[in-house]
Structure 1
Amino acid sequence: MAERGRRIAGALALGAVTAATAAAVAGGAIAVGTALARLAVTPARRPAEGVVVERVEHRDGAVAVRLRGEDAELPGRYSFLFDEGAGHARLGDVIEARAGAVVRPVVAVDRGELRPGARGRITGWWYTDPAELGLDCETIVYPTELGDARAWLVRPARAKKRRWAVHVHGRGALPEEAIRGAAPLARAGITSLIISYRNDPGAPAGQHGRYGVGLSESRDVDAAVAEALRRGAERVTLVGWSMGGTACLVSAARGAHAKSIDGVILDSPAVDWRSLLRHQAGGRRMPMPVADIGIRLLDRGLVRAGEPGGIPFESLTPEAFAHELMVPVLIHASTADTFVPSGPAERLAELRPDLVQLRLRDAGEHVKLWNVDPERWERVTEAFARALPRPAWRG
């Protein structure tokens, strides 16, 4: 009996340890899932500056810069934002690569001083102001549900009567990212609004100061469309980058002014947020169950985001958008995109071949397809915009 008692006591003790261990593991998974969820919807205080200038050189009367770091080696031409955004330079394609560093020609330095030791980041922007397109432009203010936001109004040389576009940048970027899309639309005679939205510097903060992964931001797109309509637009084309693409899809499918939208142009769009968050968790070597915990916490509103009541991820899938879309869509996407995989965009094109034109490339990082081949990107975009029919319900 004494021996049996000891065995029972040992089993109970082992069970208690096992339960405690399981509880600790579960608690750790929830903590990590919570952190992942917050990261997905919280604007970064300061973008990472993972590129360093090693040397500034003079070659055959031209200036070049030797760089090392994240995305420094990407093919194409790019903006280099340095000194926490105070500096901006335009860099040409790689002319030399050696020992993990690359040399790029300096096309222009728009602000700041390129110098050894300067730190920054490679972006796809290229332009810093739409005036650099050689078009008439001004800064305006438009009202949103949270307060006033700023936008650039860009007028084409020969405007088509009552055709406008709204351009929407991606998560963590600035309106400068979207300037690239205004030039081909201007050649098509379309007036553009390049907008800021909630949580941008100088714009109203979103709920809890967080993103709504395109859902909340779509209401700022709706507000910009309303501004275009007030200024005489009859139909509006939406142009979105990354999370801005999500916002444009939501606005075109479900927005307050969906009947005024004649088409959507997307670059590297986030079309399926569940799979995107799982992909990004994998990039951080987090187990999928942990990613799913974060998704459920956001979905149920247990981790606060910019959308009241939580984020309904089931409404942010290729299947949901395919069911709701009513206008033509052009998607620029790349199989080389490591941040937002192209698979969901490909799925949307498969589901709606009648409406979705997919330009799928095998080169070009996230929102950097223009930079690899700007001439072709703009030709396809302009041709698509020119061919958009008047929405059938407008007669």
Structure 2
Amino acid sequence: MLYATPPLSAIDERVLEEIASMRRDLQHVVQQSPMKWTADLRRSLTASAIAASNTIEGYRVDPVDVADLLDGERESVDASEEDKAETLAYQQTMTYIQSLWDVEDFTYSKGLLNALHWMLQGHHHPHRPAGRWRRKPIFITAAGDPHATEYEGPHEDDVPALMGELVDWLNHGDLTADPLVRAAMAHLNLVKIHPWTDGNGRMSRSLQTLLIARQGVLAPEFSSIEEWLGMPGHTWEYYQVLRDVGGPVYSPDRDTLPWVRFNLRAYHEQSQRVQHRVKRSTDVWLALAEHAERLHLAERQLTALHEVAMTGRVRRSRYERAEALSNQQAVRDIQTLTRTGLLTPIGNTKARHYTAGPAFPSDVLATAHRRHTITNPYQDA
């Protein structure tokens, strides 16, 4: 038996309608924008999702460093080897998930879920078995007290049947429910079954992202709520609602509406955040274009300046790949931007990156750092 999808109230339906409207607007903007304009944003959103989900589990790598790791800059990133390994494993998992969003003959299976788990946790095998159901009890301990059990998962002998039930539901269950609600319920059921010895939280969040992406409204990079969940206050709420809804043991007869509402709020607020980020990103491109002639910039050089404005820094190697340049061309361009004061080099050799220099247009930076307000859709309800 699985945790059941709850009936929604009029308030919940209104929140879903607002989310759908924002997502349609985002889809239109993303489709109309040149690919180059959204490339930085896609990479940044992916890096933020990976960083946030790993942070929830105690692995801390800054989103900017995650972006560098995704580009193969392992040696230049200032993080522990363990944190790097976890980041790269999660990136591998998310990359595969992103590739599945438009597969026509796609189907969920136990094999798919175990394969995704191997991508995430295979580097720990066999010390922590990966890609196979757990064969022992699972206990979630309370924060600060390793002897206090906060949640006990179902017996290991029941896991194969429960996962079979979940896979069947993923393919055929509650298909008339809103896809965002189904994605939230997939997350809840997987994390409460807790079928693996480790990595269950990240797998549950990954499965939710996959279901959202399979909806096809937005590319997967714009669909995840993992960045939102990784914010400190939200992470505490996340664990709290999982405790309250899931119960101290596997209890699929409990009311799941508080969990769905928590997720609807996350979808809504993350959509607001992405809307603001897309608008800032577009406005930065337009502002840089206005300065291009005055600053004698080639169009391709705007790519380096855009990344600096939006993320705070750029590496020569990433600029080279983004614009499909030779090493010599990329070096020449970066040197030119440095000589004119648009960029400032930080660090040496492989660790070197570039930040905004004294001549970087201040109005562009002001646009990139423009503040916004996020509203809770349930606040006044």
TM range (shorter): under 0.3
TM-score, L = length of structure 1: 0.26
Normalized per residue, the structure richer in helix is: 2
Higher strand share: 1
- Normalising to structure 2: TM-score of the pair? 0.27
